[in-house]
Amino acid sequence: MRVLTKSKFKLGLECPNKLYYTGKKAYANVKKEDSFLEALAQGGFQVEELARMHYPNGILVEGEAGEYENVYNQTKELLKQENVIIYEAAFLVDGFFIRTDILVKKGDSIKLIEVKSKSFDPEDEFLLIGKRGGIVSTWKPYLFDVAFQKHVMQLCYPNWSIESYLMLADKTKKASIDGLNQLFRINKTKENRTGISKKVSTLEETGSSILGLKKVTDIVKEIESDKFEYAKGLNFTESISKFNELYQKDQYAKWPTSFTSCKNCEFRTSVEDKNMGLKSGFEECFIKQHNWTEEEFNKPNILDIYSFRRGNKLFQEGVLFKSELSEDLIGLKIEADKLTTSHRQWLQIEKEVEDDSSIYVDKDALIQEMKFWKFPLHFIDFETSAAALPFNKNIKPYEQTAFQFSHHIFNNDGSIEHATEYINSQAGEFPNFEFTRELKKALENDNGTIFRYSNHENSILNAIYCQLHDSEEVDKKELMDFIESISHSTRNSAFAWTGNRDMVDLWDVEKKYYYNPLTKGSNSLKKVLPASLQKSKHLKSKYSRPIGEINITSKNFSSEKIWLEIKEGLIINPYDQLPPVFDNWSEEDIENTLSDIENIANGGAALTAYSKLQYTDMTDFERKELEKSLLKYCELDTLAMVMLYEHFVEITTS
């Protein structure tokens, strides 16, 4: 039975053409469908269980995937009661199928409650509807989802009066007990459908709830009346009927291609996919709609241009290839002391069109920058998580948790030490303050320059600073002073400081002075590292030998480890040499699948593995093996920064 579920409805809203390609094994798909992985990474299963405790004595409708009629028939029987609470109520009608998180029935008055692990501020008057009167883009998928559910329920029961709600993590509330996030765990031995083990039976046992309801009845009605479009030319009424017809007939929509949708299309093929005989939905769209041949597919197009805000307009005007662009069209601005965004874009365009793989570097500016760096040089990387349900009393939803760091030192004599590392994966422990103490021990012994890569580490230290301020830790002033010394306050902080040893952002240095065409415009360290290795004679010569021979110490790899591997003349990305941190999922798999999760690009595999360590009952052996993988991953992050530094030295001294 082909049914249009709410997940397929949301997929169609992204691009109606995707409805034709989804679920077909013949087509490549970089997004693996795994709702459990997403729930694990975001703590969604915990929020759902806590939400149900707000509505006790509910009845769970259970059934295997694809048993549409079975679960709908169960729901119909339950709905014969005058008053009833149902978890996972199912509705099947006219080719539509939905399941609601929580349904509260009192006669013909119905509460439809959609539970999300997303956070909200109930006092924000522009939370859902922006100042210009439109739905805030980040909330559109959730609100159209609720509208779809309400529509299907109303088709089944026309006489119902339905009120719609979102139940969310309220970021203005604080947990009133310790260990809230450990009250709901995944137990592999459990025989129930979800595998969730609850340590409490009443809401009162969880303390004052950190969840809140947001009534969205009126917005849902406005969506149903087509006041709001999801995208240009795509309103609710049209999407409901069109998507259902397309999916039932298994028909290609021929929805117009667009810059944003096509740029983020998951139905694209890699070289490996093509070797496996998988087809590309992306390519089929451009063949059908633009008559592209192999020649066009081999021409550099505009879809991968870094941070290209003008892309939508140009795409609509029919400008699809980099060779069609000019300095005026991209709005090129050149500044003397740094690479602007538009200048980086123009370098990417020029070098691809001219098939020029040489790197660009503002050598004089880079030399000037490096003059201020003091030995020994320290390279640090944090791994963090943000849980929907807090670890400790007086902590708000999604406050940052810093559970791991790695630290390399580059000495003046050229020796490199993997000097220190820290990890705390113990379930239920709040590691931030001990993390800061260990970081302080690692960095306080000299006045050498400290490097991070991107703004993440600075933001995390700001968050810990505020947590310390509100804490009763006996050494909080000492720790806050340390944070002040190596960081700077963020724009919206209630406190203001700039440390005398403020960390240098190597990501910012790379963005300002260096462009490597092999990165395809990306500034991610996972892209910059293999691109630098490919271009650097020094790095190739050095890292093609075992680390025990090149004056480098390691805490997680043997002295025989060789980081540089070449296959068919191309560098194998060192990150691809690491075993998967989370089951058999690569970092790229996780980031593609969980792309909607905030900060997933800041170590998605580590975040997901940490979530597994926190919420899943496992053996000590499993825990230790997972920790080993995390330690290797984080060590490579800081070693990669060291390699980039060495590459910059090579460039500025040659």
Angle in degrees, CA 400, 466, 510, rounded to 5: 60
145 — pLDDT class (breaks 50, 70, 90)? very high
615 — pLDDT class (breaks 50, 70, 90)? confident
487 — pLDDT class (breaks 50, 70, 90)? very high
Spatial contact of 602 and 536, defined as CB atoms under 8 Å apart: no
Percent with pLDDT over 90 in the chain: 75
Q: Give yes or no for residue 534 having a pLDDT over 70.
A: yes
The number of residues in the chain equals 654
Alpha helices, DSSP H, located in 226-356: 236-249, 259-263, 271-275, 281-290, 294-298, 311-316, 327-330, 341-353
417-to-424, 550, 554, 610, 643 alpha-carbon distances in Å: 22, 11, 7, 26, 13
Predicted local distance difference test score (pLDDT) of residue 587? 65
Q: What is the pLDDT of residues 266-285, one digit of tens each?
A: 999 988 888 999 999 999 99
Mean pLDDT for the chain? 91
191 — pLDDT class (breaks 50, 70, 90)? very low
Helix orientation angle between 140-156 and 6-14, rounded to the nearest 10 degrees = 130
Predicted local distance difference test score (pLDDT) of residue 325? 96
**Structure tokens that stand for 302 in this block:** 């505009």
Percent with pLDDT over 70 in the chain: 94
How far apart CA 112 and CA 20 sit, in angstroms, is 30
Beta strand 377-386 with 450-452: parallel, antiparallel or unpaired?
parallel
> Where is 168: in which H helix or E strand?
strand 161-170
Q: Give yes or no for residue 594 having a pLDDT over 70.
A: no
190 — pLDDT class (breaks 50, 70, 90)? very low
Predicted local distance difference test score (pLDDT) of residue 192? 41
Question: What are the φ/ψ torsions at residue 570 (nearest 5 degrees)?
Answer: -115, 145
